């Protein structure tokens, strides 16, 4: 412990030399009980493009972290019973699970069909709409930000609330010409939490406003923000297929993975019985 403290203090004092120069004659840079941290080990964790000062800071942090870990390990070894310290079975179980997991991933990467057609996706979606109830809600439409003192604000307000073709075209023209920012999300669904962050309001406020109207208008100290919904799904309602497509795909892939793994296990089991590699004593 004394050696550890001396070396850490030395690291703080060194400023003009490099870390490598500082440890040239010290193969062991820290000791904690019987554990040793060597200079080559320390060098391996340090990026080569760091300055001398940054290297020393990082080295000090690493040595401190290493020391705490080793000292805690030593304390555990001293305080725990022999039974508690016997982790061989746990390590073997972990190793077995890890290797099985890696093999399954390799097996799946070589065989998993990742294509989910819209036809089969829509069929599943229509049969299981209860699985696609949106907790957050979603909307698609047009988002606009304009200076709150703009002389075109009134015209944009009128166009935003119109539903005829002339109003839609007028809104597009005004937005393209005078908006600080304009995004057309008519073909892209946004979750209401994401949209609320864009609008600079709370999720609850946005949900309430969309419940009342398809047009949300908010103002801060600098800007007036509009969201004109082309379509919306409030929380607790079934989300459209376009918004749920990713979830549908995940369900299909999850099911295919389970089927492949189950088939693999059955194949290995049957082959082992056939080749007398597995003997079950009855």
Strand, helix or coil for residue 213: coil
Q: Which of 185, 182, 164, 162 is nearest to 173 (CA)?
A: 182
What residues contact 22, with CB distance under 8 A and at least 6 apart? 10, 11, 14, 56
Strand, helix or coil for residue 231: strand
Q: Which of 213, 139, 150 is nearest to 181 (CA)?
A: 150
From CA 233, how far away is CA 185, in angstroms rounded?
14
From CA 44, how far away is CA 20, in angstroms rounded?
11
What residues contact 233, with CB distance under 8 A and at least 6 apart? 134, 137, 138, 139, 239, 240, 243
Integer angstrom CA distances of residue 116 from 128, 249, 271: 16, 6, 32
From CA 169, how far away is CA 184, in angstroms rounded?
13
CB–CB of 225/136 below 8 Å? Answer: no
Cβ neighbours around 176 below 10 Å, total: 11
- How confident is the model over 217-238, as pLDDT tens digits? 999 999 999 999 999 999 999 9
Q: Find residue 32's DSSP bridge partners.
A: 35
Strand, helix or coil for residue 113: coil
pLDDT (tens digit, 0 to 9) for every residue of the chain, 282 residues total? 444 444 544 444 444 344 445 544 558 888 888 889 988 888 888 888 888 888 888 988 999 999 999 999 999 999 999 999 899 999 999 999 999 999 999 999 999 999 999 999 999 999 999 999 999 999 999 999 999 999 999 999 999 998 889 999 999 999 999 999 999 999 999 999 999 999 999 999 999 999 999 999 999 999 999 999 999 999 999 999 999 999 999 999 999 999 999 999 999 999 998 998 888 877
From CA 196, how far away is CA 278, in angstroms rounded?
59
From CA 31, how far away is CA 39, in angstroms rounded?
12
- How confident is the model over 23-43, as pLDDT tens digits? 445 588 888 888 899 888 888
């Amino acid at each position: 412990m004394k050696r550890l403290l001396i070396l850490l203090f030395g690291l703080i004092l060194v400023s003009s030399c490099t870390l490598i120069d500082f440890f040239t004659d010290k193969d062991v840079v820290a000791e904690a009980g019987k554990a040793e941290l060597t200079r080559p080990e320390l060098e391996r964790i340090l990026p080569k493009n760091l300055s001398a000062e940054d290297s020393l800071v990082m080295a000090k942090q690493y040595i401190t972290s290493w020391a705490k870990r080793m000292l805690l390990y030593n304390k555990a070894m001293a305080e725990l019973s022999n039974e508690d310290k016997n982790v061989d079975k746990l390590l073997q179980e972990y190793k077995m699970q890890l290797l099985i997991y890696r093999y399954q991933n390799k097996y799946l990467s070589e065989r998993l069909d990742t294509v989910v057609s819209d036809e089969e996706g829509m069929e599943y979606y229509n049969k299981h709409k209860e699985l696609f109830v949106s907790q957050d809600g979603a909307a698609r439409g047009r988002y606009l930000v304009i200076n709150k003192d703009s002389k075109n604000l009134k015209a944009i307000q009128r166009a935003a609330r119109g539903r005829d073709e002339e109003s839609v075209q007028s809104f597009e023209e005004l937005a393209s010409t005078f908006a600080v920012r304009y995004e057309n999300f008519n073909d892209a669904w946004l979750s209401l939490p994401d949209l609320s962050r864009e609008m600079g309001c709370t999720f609850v406020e946005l949900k309430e406003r969309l419940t009342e109207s398809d047009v949300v208008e908010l103002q801060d100290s600098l800007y007036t923000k509009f969201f004109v919904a082309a379509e919306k799904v409030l929380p607790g309602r079934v989300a459209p297929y376009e918004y749920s497509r990713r979830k549908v795909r995940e369900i299909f892939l999850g099911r295919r993975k389970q089927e492949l793994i189950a088939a693999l296990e059955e194949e290995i089991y049957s082959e082992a019985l056939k080749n007398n590699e597995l003997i079950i004593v009855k």
